[in-house]
């Protein structure tokens, strides 16, 4: 077994910001500390070009389909490690995709036909694309900062005659720079500011750097989206909603979530961070939440009934942009 194909050993490198094995320079250096914080506030995409470390989109693809060409050897090795740490990891990806599909179906039933998928990943396997594709009047804008994802997506559009016939817009940029993003999409006509939009913040908000204000992301959406637009969001947590779980089960969830987050630190940044229910509630406080308010990705639009929470475990909520309040 060669070093390139050996499993990652938990607690041992390569973790970010180790130097690239194919470069004489430590390419992660430019993306550490305050640089990463500033980059998430700017519109240009973060140029994470390193291929000696896994990328989250590739890891997700490898969890679903181990032999996929969308993942490289680093991605597959990390997917294997995550599956050892958290055997529920693959099901969690399936649950997130199912959540996305349900949100889109409910939004379409509410009359919304514009969708904005932030941190979209690969559109060839996108649950958002699959849910929108069957509705000829629906459009979707995909946004991702990873240049490798962008290259795959462009190739899929140009090489797949089916994808080429479907209305979509690909944006390579920072999904957290809400103001410049929406300004650009409105100006180019990719989104119609006179009609409601459904924004998908699925499996992305918990990648925001801790020094940046997660609530401000939602607040900027609320300020710039038409009233009654939808925002769907989920967030990694290490505490179950249900009180049915035993103390040992709760401790196992916290332990495995911490291990899962540590393993994801092998990836190019940003890296995931768990939050509590109360923290999640503060981050989405500017939305008018739809019933059942805060639940889980696997349960929405029903209340969470999980009896044994397993990592990675994600809270979920869908809310509307409130109507503007009348001036006094």
For 215: left if phi > 0, alpha if psi spans -120 to 50, otherwise beta; the answer is: alpha
Rounded CA Rg of the chain:
19
The helix-helix angle for 147-159 and 56-64 (nearest 10°) equals: 60
pLDDT of 90: 97
Residue 203 within a domain:
yes
Domain count, the chain: 1
Residue 185 within a domain:
yes
Residue 57 within a domain:
no
pLDDT of 224: 97
Confidence of residue 28 (pLDDT cuts 50, 70, 90): low
Q: Is the pLDDT of residue 32 over 90?
A: no
Residue 38 within a domain:
no
Task: Kindly report the CATH number assigned to the domain that includes residue 114.
Answer: 3.40.50.150
Tokens encoding 86: 């958290």
pTM: 0.92
The percent of residues above 70 in pLDDT, for the chain, comes to 88
The percent of residues above 90 in pLDDT, for the chain, comes to 64
What is the distance between the alpha carbons of residues 171 and 164, in angstroms, rounded to a whole number?
A: 16
pLDDT in tens, 44-72: 666 666 778 899 999 999 999 999 999 99
Chain centroid to CA 44: how far? 18
Mean pLDDT of 188-196: 95
- For residue 40, the surrounding DSSP H or E stretch is helix 34-40
Q: Which long-range contacts (CB under 8 A, 24 or more apart) does 287-295 make?
A: 287/218, 287/222, 287/231, 287/317, 287/319, 287/320, 287/321, 287/322, 288/319, 288/320, 288/321, 288/322, 289/317, 289/318, 289/319, 290/317, 290/318, 290/319, 290/320, 293/317, 294/241, 295/241
Confidence of residue 34 (pLDDT cuts 50, 70, 90): confident
HSE-CB at 88 with a 13 A cutoff on CA atoms is 16
Q: Residue 233: which of 155, 117, 146, 324 has the closest Cα? A: 117
Residue 327 within a domain:
no
Mean of all residue pLDDT scores within the chain: 88
pLDDT of 197: 98
What is the distance between the alpha carbons of residues 288 and 291, in angstroms, rounded to a whole number?
A: 10
Q: Residue 310: which of 92, 95, 97, 11 has the closest Cα? A: 92
Residue 51 within a domain:
no
- For residue 219, the surrounding DSSP H or E stretch is helix 214-224
> Is there a contact between 242 and 304 (Cβ–Cβ < 8 Å)?
yes
Residue 144 within a domain:
yes
pLDDT in tens, 138-167: 999 999 988 888 888 888 777 766 556 655
CB count within 10 Å of CB 239 equals 18
Q: Is the pLDDT of residue 186 over 70?
A: yes
Q: Is the pLDDT of residue 33 over 50?
A: yes
> Is there a contact between 22 and 111 (Cβ–Cβ < 8 Å)?
no
pLDDT of 6: 81
> Which residue range is the domain that position 154 belongs to?
89-320
pLDDT in tens, 107-134: 999 999 999 999 999 988 889 988 998 8
Residue 46 within a domain:
no
């Amino acid at each position: 077994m060669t070093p390139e194909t050996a499993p990652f050993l938990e607690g041992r490198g390569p973790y970010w910001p180790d130097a690239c094995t194919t470069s004489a320079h430590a390419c992660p250096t430019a993306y550490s500390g305050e640089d990463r914080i500033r980059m998430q506030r700017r519109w240009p995409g973060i140029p994470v070009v390193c291929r000696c470390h896994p990328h989250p989109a590739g890891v997700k693809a490898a969890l679903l389909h181990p032999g996929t060409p969308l993942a490289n050897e680093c991605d597959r090795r990390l997917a294997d490690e995550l599956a050892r740490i958290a055997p529920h990891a693959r099901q969690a990806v399936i649950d997130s995709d199912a959540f996305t599909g349900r949100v889109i179906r409910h939004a379409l039933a509410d009359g919304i036909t514009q969708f904005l998928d932030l941190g979209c990943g690969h559109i060839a396997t996108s649950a958002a694309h699959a849910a929108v594709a069957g509705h000829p009047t629906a459009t979707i804008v995909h946004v991702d900062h990873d240049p490798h994802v962008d290259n795959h997506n462009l190739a899929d559009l140009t090489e797949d005659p089916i994808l080429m016939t479907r209305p979509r817009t690909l944006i390579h940029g920072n999904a957290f720079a809400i103001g410049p993003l929406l300004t650009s999409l409105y100006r180019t006509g990719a989104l119609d500011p006179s009609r409601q939009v459904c924004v998908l913040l699925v499996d992305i908000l918990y990648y925001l750097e801790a020094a940046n204000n997660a609530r401000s992301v939602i607040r900027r959406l609320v300020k710039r989206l038409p009233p009654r637009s939808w925002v769907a969001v989920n967030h990694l947590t290490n505490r179950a909603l249900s009180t049915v779980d035993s103390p040992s089960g709760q401790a196992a969830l916290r332990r495995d979530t911490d291990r899962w987050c540590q393993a994801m630190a092998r990836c190019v940044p940003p890296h995931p961070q768990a939050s509590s229910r109360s923290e999640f509630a503060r981050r989405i406080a500017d939305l008018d939440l739809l019933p059942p308010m805060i639940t889980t990705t696997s349960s929405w639009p029903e209340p969470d009934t999980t009896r044994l929470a397993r990592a990675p475990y994600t809270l979920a909520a869908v809310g509307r942009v409130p109507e503007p309040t009348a001036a006094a």
